[in-house]
Amino acid sequence: MIAAMHDVLIIGGGVIGLSLAWDLARHGSSVQVIDQGPLGREASWAGAGILPAATFSKALHPLEQLRGLASEQHGTWAAELRAMTDIDTGYQRCGGLHLAPSPGEAAALLAWADLMREEGVEAQVIDRERAATIEPGVVTSKALASCFLPDEAQLRNPRYLQALEKACRLAGVELTPQTGATEWTVVNGAVTGLSTSAGQLRARRYCVTAGSWSGQFLQRQGINLGIMPIRGQMILFRCQQPPIQRIINVGSRYLVPRQDGYLLAGSTEEEVGFDKRTTDEAIADLIGFARDIVPALASASIEQTWAGLRPGSFDSLPYLGRLPGLANAFVAAGHFRNGLFLSPATAIVMSQLLRDEQPQIDLAPFRVGR
């Protein structure tokens, strides 16, 4: 059975795919999203919902422009999603405290703070005493350098994905979970159909947004994308009351407090293929890290542990744009740890591209085969 033709068929129903579908639908496009599993239940569901501070106006490199656009859009999207779906995504500008416990990390943090200020982001280099005043529940005595970013924000990623899914349905997007894509048919340099576990699907244009699985799918089509899954393990603590109010960043690890007393601790970076199991060693290390930084967590219960697979690329840039040799096939994948953060900006520029508009950000640095 051959289904009706949509303007765009999106392969992958995570935060990138759902965001793109919503933006396309709001601009009048007919869209279908398929996913091999439940919608929105992979990397972005498994993350912590950290939204770094960034600005668009002073950004020069397209990646920094993408970050700036994302930062500016998240508040707007959160308000629009709540108005449309009645789902509170938990968006709040809670601020972020960055701590560096070693000389090398301290030097890197101070250089990064200088860069943030050059790009128009408020980044306050502070001493240990000031850090302890900002966040009394945090042990700052071992920090050789500290930096506070008042505009760092967060959202509740499961709620955000639920809101996006509902918004897509309300906007007329056809959502098709539990539908795996196998291969597409190419005729004269254009995709004419996609074979799936639910039958043949057709669209005028196709976009692959399947996160860590994008590389697998495209490799079957003869396109080497170079995306690899990077496992990140996580812990959810449950506290009687929030022991901290702000995001705490120590290198690649972090603590993210929720207003209801839950606190997320993460995360590892492991190249283990498509293995989403947690390990006793990594979880024990994260518990130790969390309780060393916030001693009050010693009495907190561990509600849950889990792992997700982030889509990493060789140069840490996502792939955004047209797929080589195909007139009507595109990709938006490889965001690594920043998929949730970059999702509204990615959706905007890719929606512009798919609707034959000039993207407001130069996508050349993100091209496949760069």
Opening angle at CA 85, ends 80 and 87, nearest 5: 90
* pTM, rounded to two decimals: 0.96
Residue 21 corresponds to which tokens in the numbers above? 């579908």
| Separation CA 68–CA 52 (nearest Å) | 9
Provide the domain count of the chain: 2
Tell me, yes or no, whether 84 and 164 share the same domain. Answer: yes
From 295, 311, 327, the end of a domain falls on 311
Tell me, yes or no, whether 206 and 341 share the same domain. Answer: yes
Question: What CATH number is attached to the domain comprising 299?
Answer: 3.30.9.10
Tell me, yes or no, whether 72 and 164 share the same domain. Answer: yes
Tell me, yes or no, whether 173 and 223 share the same domain. Answer: yes
* pLDDT tens track for 41-52: 999 899 999 999
Question: What CATH number is attached to the domain comprising 83?
Answer: 3.50.50.60
Tell me, yes or no, whether 44 and 144 share the same domain. Answer: no
From 311, 332, 358, the end of a domain falls on 311
Per-residue pLDDT of the chain (370 residues; tens, 9 = 90+): 445 689 999 999 999 999 999 999 999 999 999 999 999 999 989 999 999 999 999 999 999 999 999 999 999 999 999 999 999 999 999 999 999 999 999 999 999 999 999 999 999 999 999 999 999 999 999 999 999 999 999 999 999 999 999 999 999 999 999 999 999 999 999 999 999 999 999 999 999 999 999 999 999 999 999 899 999 999 999 999 999 999 999 999 999 999 999 999 999 999 999 999 999 999 999 999 999 999 999 999 999 999 999 999 999 999 999 999 999 999 999 999 999 999 999 999 999 999 999 999 999 999 999 9
* Full domain range(s) for residue 137: 96-150+230-311
Tell me, yes or no, whether 348 and 336 share the same domain. Answer: yes
C-beta separation of 12 from 213 below 8 A: yes
Strand pairing of 203-208 and 6-11? parallel
Tell me, yes or no, whether 188 and 272 share the same domain. Answer: no
Confirm whether 1 is domain-assigned.
no
Residue 276 corresponds to which tokens in the numbers above? 């989403």
Strand pairing of 96-100 and 145-149? antiparallel
Confirm whether 340 is domain-assigned.
yes
Sequence-distant (6+) residues with CB within 8 A of 49 are 90, 154, 155, 156, 157, 160, 256, 264, 340
Side-chain-side CA neighbours of residue 335 (13 Å): 29
From 291, 311, 331, the end of a domain falls on 311
Mean pLDDT, the chain, integer: 96
C-beta separation of 72 from 151 below 8 A: no
* pLDDT tens track for 15-36: 999 999 999 999 999 999 999 9
Q: What's the confidence (pLDDT) of residue 4?
A: 63
Q: What's the confidence (pLDDT) of residue 1?
A: 45
Tell me, yes or no, whether 202 and 137 share the same domain. Answer: no
Tell me, yes or no, whether 246 and 350 share the same domain. Answer: no
